[in-house]
């Protein structure tokens, strides 16, 4: 009896051992096949680039939830082809000035001291080439043109100086300076393949759908704390590079930020910009904010103090003021409050009726 039961226990151990072995083998095989098909699971994929993006990368088969189709988006010419241009040096200098404006033209600028320390690239991402990242794809093809803000014909240098005087809260750059000519050369090269008069798909800023309610700075404050503060800081002042030649994280309000005459001070520009670009790593293909978060955070940031500007010469024809221009007088009966925070749909509808 004793021998029999001992043999039985041995047999049982053997069978159990075999089962465990086979199970392990199956797990290893399945695991290897799975990993071979999903290499991203082991770490960020090479093209993800940014932590926010890879963290959000779904393991399941991706459902496209971009705000615009990828096909047909404007793309900058291949950078390496620039050497074939007769003015390659100027184009390269222009790109350098867009990317590192502050180093040359900021408060400690080595060429001139004439702007607030921000770089053009802080808002015109990847030196003005990112699709729906406020790029320069339509600049060469659509300027000069009459702009309603000034009521005047504006060429590229005038438009660049608009951003110097408003977005960079600074002084204008001399038209005939080497720096101005370089930036113009860069923008003309970027847009060289765009037919005259055309605005290519994905140029500029994304047009975010209006909400049915006013944008809410209180909700925006909560969204800011959750989604923006880690980089732009609780006080909105961002973070300077140690050598003070520019920002690691640019400021969003306060004396070093864009002034009240800047494009981003308009709610639709700010909300559309952040929807497809912020938090850093978001793109039009992979936005990270809901429409409500984008509008509300715009309301919060644009309610806080920032430099003023004399805007009395702007919008000589007040009926041409954009729906979200926050300063009266207006040709319609809506308040400054509603022109600032919305709801914008009733204003749009009233204007359509008036235009008939
Ligand atoms: C604080 C953000 C910000 C900064 C910094 C900034 N810009 Fe802009 N820029 C804007 C916004 C917003 C617009 C308007 C985009 C729109 O309405 O579609 C704009 C528009 C432009 C346009 C016209 C684009 C078009 O297609 O009509 C040019 C050119 C331009 N900026 C050049 C510059 C240059 C050069 C610099 C640096 C000297 C600069 N910007 C810095 C925010 C900025
Ligand atoms: C992971 C860091 C990070 C987070 C989080 C982040 N940003 Fe940014 N943001 C940046 C950087 C860096 C730039 C400048 C990009 C460049 O120069 O290439 C920028 C630029 C901007 C700009 C244009 C430049 C300026 O200072 O006016 C705005 C507006 C902006 N961010 C808003 C937001 C908002 C709103 C949120 C939250 C929804 C947010 N950002 C979250 C890093 C971040």
Ligand 2 centroid – CA 234 distance (Å): 13
Residue 22 has pLDDT above 80, yes or no: no
> How far is C-alpha 173 from the chain's CA centre?
25
Atom of ligand 2 nearest to the CA of 122: 17
Listed by start position, the domains of the chain span: 2-37, 79-190, 217-355
Ligand sitting nearest the alpha carbon of 229: 2
Q: What is the pTM of this model?
A: 0.86
Ligand sitting nearest the alpha carbon of 280: 2
* pLDDT at residue number 37: 60
Residue 46 has pLDDT above 90, yes or no: no
State the average pLDDT for the chain.
91
- For residue 249 and ligand 2, the question of a CB distance below 6 A is answered with yes
Residue 19 has pLDDT above 80, yes or no: no
Please check whether residue 125 is in contact with residue 116, taking contact to mean a CB–CB distance below 8 angstroms.
no
Superfamily of domain 217-355: Cytochrome c-like domain (1.10.760.10)
* pLDDT at residue number 18: 72
28: its two tokens? 């290893």
More confident residue, 323 or 58: 323
- For residue 251 and ligand 2, the question of a CB distance below 6 A is answered with yes
Superfamily of domain 79-190: Cytochrome c-like domain (1.10.760.10)
Protein residue with its CA nearest to atom 5 in ligand 1: 120
Same topology, domains 79-190 and 217-355? Answer is yes
Please check whether residue 169 is in contact with residue 250, taking contact to mean a CB–CB distance below 8 angstroms.
no
Atom of ligand 1 nearest to the CA of 203: 26
Confidence band of 39 (pLDDT split at 50, 70, 90): very low
Q: Model confidence over 147-188: pLDDT tens digits?
A: 999 999 999 999 999 999 999 999 999 999 999 999 999 999
What is the distance between the alpha carbons of residues 106 and 111, in angstroms, rounded to a whole number? 9
Q: Which residue has 């071979």 as its token pair?
A: 36
Bond prior to 144 in cis (omega within 30° of 0): yes
Residue in 296, 125, 162, 312 with CA at minimum distance from that of residue 226: 296
CB-based pocket (< 6 A), ligand 1? 98, 101, 118, 120, 122-124, 134, 136, 138-139, 159-160, 163-164, 167-168, 183, 204-205, 258, 262-264, 269
Confidence band of 356 (pLDDT split at 50, 70, 90): confident
């Amino acid at each position: 009896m004793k021998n029999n039961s001992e043999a039985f226990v041995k047999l049982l151990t053997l069978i159990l051992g075999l089962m465990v072995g086979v199970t392990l083998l199956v797990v290893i095989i399945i695991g290897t096949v799975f990993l071979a098909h999903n290499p991203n699971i082991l770490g960020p994929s090479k093209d993800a680039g940014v932590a926010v993006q890879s963290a959000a990368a779904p393991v399941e088969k991706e459902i496209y939830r971009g705000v615009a189709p990828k096909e047909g988006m404007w793309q900058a010419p291949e950078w390496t082809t620039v050497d074939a241009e007769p003015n390659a040096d100027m184009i390269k200098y222009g790109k350098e000035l867009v990317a590192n404006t502050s180093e040359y033209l900021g408060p400690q600028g080595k060429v001139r001291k004439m702007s607030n320390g921000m770089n053009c690239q802080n808002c015109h991402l990847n030196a003005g080439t990112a699709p729906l990242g406020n790029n320069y794809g339509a600049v060469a093809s659509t300027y000069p043109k009459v702009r309603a803000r000034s009521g005047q014909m504006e060429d590229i240098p005038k438009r660049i100086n608009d951003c110097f005087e408003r977005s960079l809260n600074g002084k204008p750059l001399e038209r005939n300076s080497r720096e101005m000519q370089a930036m113009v050369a860069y923008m003309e090269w970027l847009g060289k393949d765009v037919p005259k008069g055309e605005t290519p798909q994905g140029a500029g800023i994304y047009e975010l759908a209006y909400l049915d309610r006013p944008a809410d700075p209180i909700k925006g404050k909560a969204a800011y704390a959750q989604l923006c503060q880690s980089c732009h800081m609780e006080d909105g002042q961002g973070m300077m590079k140690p050598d003070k030649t520019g920002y690691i994280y640019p400021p969003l309000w306060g004396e070093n930020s864009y002034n009240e005459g800047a494009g981003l001070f308009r709610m639709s520009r700010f909300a559309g910009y952040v929807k497809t670009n912020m938090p850093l790593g978001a793109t039009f293909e992979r936005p990270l904010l809901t429409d409500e978060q984008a509008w509300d955070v715009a309301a919060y940031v644009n309610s806080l103090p920032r430099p003023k500007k004399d805007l009395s010469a702007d919008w000589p024809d007040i009926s041409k003021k954009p729906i979200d221009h926050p300063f009266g007088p207006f040709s319609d009966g809506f308040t400054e409050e509603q022109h600032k925070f919305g709801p914008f749909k009733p204003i749009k509808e009233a204007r359509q009726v008036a235009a008939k």
